[in-house]
């Protein structure tokens, strides 16, 4: 039986993301005489309004407006997921206002929005338990040790239901550098995303690698899901970024990182 993790967000995430950006931008404006490009690393969570139909492709013009409104209204039933998404969205909107109020800056801002980031972990050498992992890797560990029961997943799709879009952390690092180096990326909001995968895609990948983990229901035909649930055309058109690390390599690196960190998958 796998370990059950409670996925939550710190209550100060809104202050860190949304209010912290004001101080950073003003500091760069005051002291950054040599700065040419500011990269803000956001999240596609800022886009994912949950009233969209299954199969909707989120675009760079989308906002998770209901989360923003709920947080600003200080509603008592705001979830951790909404708070995190709103913090990222509000931070972006503050960046937009800052650009509008400071049209003569000698530097510009590029907002890069990755999907779930998985892969190699280098920030810690060991973890006492999985709750110490960052959010995306905590999710991955949960899926690999104690995935949700298929009957509780939406749309009666079982493990064929969409789990997430992803990008490997190594690709995200390279794309961020590309964002610094590409002049045309200035002032843009750029989604970066490898592909979408279902729970069963994940389990099948684990099996194909010969790794321990859930097998799901491989006997059932996979549902045809969109290749991606977010539109990353700007990354292709402006950054020229079209090749992403495949899911199998990303998952293998996750396993290696969990193992090296002392976390077991049985």
Lookup result for tokens 């592909």: 195
Distance (Å, whole) CA 30 – CA 28:
5
Lookup result for tokens 């998985």: 118
Closest CA to 45 of 229, 264, 175, 215: 229
Distance (Å, whole) CA 1 – CA 266:
9
Residues 160/198, Cβ–Cβ less than 8 Å: yes
Q: Please, which residues have CB within 8 angstroms of residue 151's CB and are 6 or more apart in sequence?
A: 158
Distance (Å, whole) CA 249 – CA 210:
13
Residues 208/248, Cβ–Cβ less than 8 Å: yes
Residues 91/40, Cβ–Cβ less than 8 Å: yes
Lookup result for tokens 């690390």: 245
pLDDT in tens, the chain (266 residues): 233 333 344 456 666 777 789 999 999 999 999 999 999 999 999 999 988 887 899 999 999 999 999 998 988 898 888 998 999 999 999 999 999 999 999 999 999 999 999 999 986 666 778 888 888 999 999 999 999 888 888 777 788 888 899 999 999 999 999 999 999 999 999 999 999 999 999 999 999 999 999 999 998 877 777 899 999 999 999 999 999 999 999 999 999 999 988 888 87
Q: Looking at residue 4, what is its pLDDT?
A: 34
Cα angle value 257/146/6 (rounded, 5°): 85
Lookup result for tokens 């058109």: 237
Residue 47's alpha-carbon distances to 140, 220, 227, in angstroms, are 21, 31, 18
CATH value of 13-260 in 3.30.460.80, 3.40.50.720, 3.40.30.10, 3.40.50.300: 3.40.50.720
Residue 113: strand pairing partners: 191
């Amino acid at each position: 039986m796998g370990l059950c993790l409670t996925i939550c967000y710190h209550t100060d995430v809104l202050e860190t993301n949304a209010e912290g950006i004001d101080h950073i931008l003003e500091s760069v404006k005051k002291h950054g005489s040599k700065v040419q490009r500011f990269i803000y690393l956001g999240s596609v969570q800022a886009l994912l309004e949950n009233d969209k139909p299954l199969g909707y492709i989120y675009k760079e013009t989308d906002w998770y407006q209901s989360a923003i409104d709920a947080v600003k209204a200080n509603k008592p039933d705001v979830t951790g997921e909404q708070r995190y998404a709103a913090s990222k969205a509000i931070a972006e909107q503050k960046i937009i206002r800052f650009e509008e109020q400071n049209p003569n800056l000698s530097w510009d801002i590029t907002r890069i929005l990755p999907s779930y980031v998985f892969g190699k972990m280098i920030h810690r050498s060991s973890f006492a338990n999985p709750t110490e992992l960052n959010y995306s890797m905590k999710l991955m560990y949960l899926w690999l040790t104690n995935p949700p029961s298929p009957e509780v997943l939406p749309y009666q799709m079982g493990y064929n239901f969409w789990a997430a879009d992803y990008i490997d952390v190594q690709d995200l690092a390279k794309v961020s550098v590309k964002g610094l180096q590409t002049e045309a990326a200035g002032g843009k909001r750029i989604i970066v995303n490898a592909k979408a995968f279902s729970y069963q895609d994940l389990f099948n990948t684990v099996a194909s690698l010969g790794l321990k983990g859930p097998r799901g229901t491989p006997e059932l035909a996979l549902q045809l899901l969109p290749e991606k649930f977010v539109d990353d055309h700007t990354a292709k058109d402006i950054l020229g970024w079209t090749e992403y690390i495949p899911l199998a390599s990303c998952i293998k690196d996750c396993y290696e990182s969990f193992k090296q960190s002392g976390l077991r998958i049985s």
